[in-house]
């Protein structure tokens, strides 16, 4: 996890512009480099490094003797760089996994490069010999990337939008900063003036298709057919493989553990695999909540079962409320459920950075979208519509859960790893018949739970624990975090302000005091940028004014028994 930043065709002095690069310094606390491009005095790269692999030669932009005309700035992890080296006979100059991007590009061009990478990434590749600039981002947008491109060809690229919004160009501020689409690459011509012109934007991978890199995966061809035992076995094999390939790190590995199904499965498989390869330190797991919250109690049970070195982070309502503004600034969004769920993750990440030496952090993001884990999936009119909704959620992950997971951890210089979003695992799961993937017997994620039922990885009550609304999972038994938030915000936002919300904020107008409060803070830091969020995250097939699972009937009946 790093911070990347680049400018092409800047009219302003680069020493002034590079102040914008410092806004993402949190993403790479270990080192910083600012480098001009030879022959293009108005083009430059900025890089903030979190050293996870090759601590000696891992600075960027990466340049190697074999390809002196190539410059690479990337943020991510390429898990199959050794397999690709073996398959194509690449001769690496460093131990940096991202170096493979240079070799793949030289061998087969940008299309093959992006398609063959098994990992999470966003990158800027400059080819001065052919005067091309390439941008690319992984299938689910696990690693962030933003860009601004003006009509006269000035291009700015950054890991976070905050590194672009104050760039100066000609006489005005650059306006249209937008997220770069996941699963795409863009080709731009580099003119002698240093300005660029976009040539094409190409979708290189659809998450339903088996990725091109599956051909050189460590897991060979799996048994075909949809009989239940075969499917369950394939799910276990692919999930374990997803966790195994993510063990690549020279820094200490830890794991977020809420005590829910997803993070518990990740932690259990992770610890099992770390023991198999004789990792020299115990796995640290981290849970956050208010005193005696359901998540803390469940996580304690899981940690005891798997034998991790468990840390509990207890926060009070004041700490949670105080963090809201910092969280919204980090997130660059005002989405209600994203902000609400980010507070706990932000505070636990802060603890990990300050109190431990764990840097590479595993988490359970992506499972709810992939395996139909949200409570509202119980209301799906048909298996086919549930499957379509699952795909829509995966497509928009970069705006919601993946954004939350990246920014809350990156704000504290941690690197997140999300095995549920492994390309091979997700494409297999999505290839299964729609009726296999729906909730059954009133239980969401039924197939995933069933697949691990006989593994003894988790206690049965955890494996079959129903989904908590995150804001309730971390809450005290006395009063939910949701209620605490509402009570506080009710005092901050006047009824009259809410009545006139649509006049003040015509795009995505706030409908509740909570959404109004978040929007006010967002507009303070990012005025006029409300289009970064195309729409609020909301459940389907139910009448809901709030995105939380706690407002749904299924959830109420489960919590009131």
Distance from C-alpha of 319 to C-alpha of 291, rounded to nearest angstrom: 13
Helix (H) or strand (E) holding 100: helix 99-116
Indicate the Cα dihedral angle 288, 293, 294, 297, nearest 10°: 70
Q: Which residues contact 223 (CB under 8 A, 6 or more apart)?
A: 230, 233, 234
Q: Which residues of 413-450 are buried (b: 16+ CB within 10 A; e: fewer)?
A: bbbbbbbbbbbbbbbbbbeeebebbbbeeeebbbbbbb
Angstrom CA distances, 357 to 253, 257, 279, stand at: 9, 17, 15
As a whole number of Å, the CA-based R_g of the chain is 23
Indicate the Cα dihedral angle 110, 116, 122, 124, nearest 10°: -30
Strands in 358-362's sheet, in edge-to-edge order, are: 309-314, 284-289, 252-256, 358-362, 415-417
Token pair for residue 302? 């899981």
DSSP string, 466-526: PPPPHHHHTS-SSS-HHHHHHHHHHHHS-HHHHHTHHHH--SS---SHHHHHHHHHHHHHS
Q: Is 256 annotated as a binding residue?
A: yes
Q: Is 364 annotated as a binding residue?
A: yes
Residue 6 DSSP SS3: strand
Token pair for residue 557? 């009946």
Q: Is 235 annotated as a binding residue?
A: no
HEC secondary structure over 271-339? HHHHHHCCCCCCCEEEEEECCCCHHHHHHHHHHHHHCCEEEEEECCHHHHHHCHHHHHHHHCCCCHHHH
The beta-carbon contacts of 348-351 under 8 Å, at least 24 apart in sequence, are 348/256, 348/286, 348/287, 348/288, 348/313, 349/408, 349/409, 349/411, 349/412, 349/414, 350/411, 350/412, 351/286, 351/288, 351/311, 351/313
**Residue 250 · residue 58 · CB < 8 Å:** no
Q: Is 373 annotated as a binding residue?
A: no
Q: Which residues are catalytic?
A: 2
Q: What share of the chain is helix, strand, coil (3-state, %, to 5)?
A: 45, 20, 35
Q: Which residues contact 508 (CB under 8 A, 6 or more apart)?
A: 334, 519, 530, 533, 535, 536
């Amino acid at each position: 996890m790093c911070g990347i930043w680049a400018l092409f065709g800047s009219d302003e002095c680069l020493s002034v512009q590079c102040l914008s690069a410092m806004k993402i310094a949190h993403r790479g606390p270990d080192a910083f480099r600012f480098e001009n491009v030879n022959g293009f005095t108005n083009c430059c790269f900025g890089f903030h490094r979190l050293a996870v692999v090759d601590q000696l030669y891992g600075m960027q932009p990466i340049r190697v003797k074999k390809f002196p005309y190539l410059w690479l700035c990337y943020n991510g992890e390429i898990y199959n760089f050794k397999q690709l080296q073996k398959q194509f006979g690449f001769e690496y100059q460093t131990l940096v996994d991202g170096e493979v991007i240079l070799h793949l590009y030289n061998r087969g061009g940008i299309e093959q490069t992006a398609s063959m990478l098994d990992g999470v990434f966003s990158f800027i590749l400059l080819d001065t010999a052919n005067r091309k600039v390439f941008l690319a981002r992984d299938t689910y947008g696990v690693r962030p990337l933003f860009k601004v491109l003006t009509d006269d060809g000035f291009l700015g690229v950054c890991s976070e939008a905050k590194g672009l919004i104050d760039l100066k160009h000609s006489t005005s501020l650059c306006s249209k900063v937008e997220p770069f689409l996941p699963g795409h690459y863009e080709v731009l011509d580099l003119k002698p003036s240093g300005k660029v012109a976009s040539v094409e934007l190409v979708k290189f991978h659809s998450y339903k298709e088996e990725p091109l890199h599956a051909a050189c995966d460590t897991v060979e061809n799996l048994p075909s057919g949809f009989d239940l035992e075969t499917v369950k076995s394939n799910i276990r094999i692919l999930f374990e493989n997803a966790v195994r390939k993510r063990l690549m790190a020279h820094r200490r590995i830890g794991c977020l553990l809420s005590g829910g199904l997803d993070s518990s499965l990740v932690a259990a498989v992770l610890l099992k695999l770390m023991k198999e390869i004789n990792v020299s330190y115990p796995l640290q797991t981290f849970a956050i909540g208010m005193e005696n919250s359901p998540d803390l109690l469940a996580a304690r049970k899981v940690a005891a079962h798997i034998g991790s070195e468990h840390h509990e982070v207890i926060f009070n309502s004041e700490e949670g409320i105080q963090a809201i503004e910092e969280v919204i600034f980090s997130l660059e969004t005002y989405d209600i459920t994203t902000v609400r769920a980010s507070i706990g993750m932000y505070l636990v990440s802060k603890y990990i950075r300050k109190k431990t030496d764990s840097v590479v952090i595993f988490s359970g993001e992506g499972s709810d979208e992939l395996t139909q884990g949200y409570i509202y999936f119980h209301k799906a009119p048909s298996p086919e519509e549930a499957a379509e909704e699952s795909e829509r959620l995966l497509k928009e992950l970069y705006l919601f859960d993946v954004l939350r997971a990246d920014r809350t951890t990156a704000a504290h210089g941690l690197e997140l790893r999300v095995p549920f979003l492994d390309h091979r695992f997700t494409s297999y799961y999505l290839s299964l018949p729609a009726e296999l993937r729906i909730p059954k017997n009133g239980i969401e994620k039924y197939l995933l739970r069933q697949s691990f039922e006989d593994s003894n990885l988790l206690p049965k009550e955890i494996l079959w624990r129903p989904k908590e609304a995150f804001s309730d999972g971390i809450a005290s038994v006395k009063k939910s975090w949701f209620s605490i938030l509402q009570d506080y915000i009710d005092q901050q936002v006047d009824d009259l302000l809410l009545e006139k919300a649509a006049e003040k904020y015509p795009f995505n107008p706030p409908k509740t005091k909570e959404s109004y409060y978040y929007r006010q803070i967002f507009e303070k830091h990012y005025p006029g940028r409300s289009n970064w969020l195309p729409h609020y995250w909301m459940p389907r097939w139910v009448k809901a004014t709030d995105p939380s699972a706690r407002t749904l009937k299924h959830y109420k009946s489960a919590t009131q028994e």
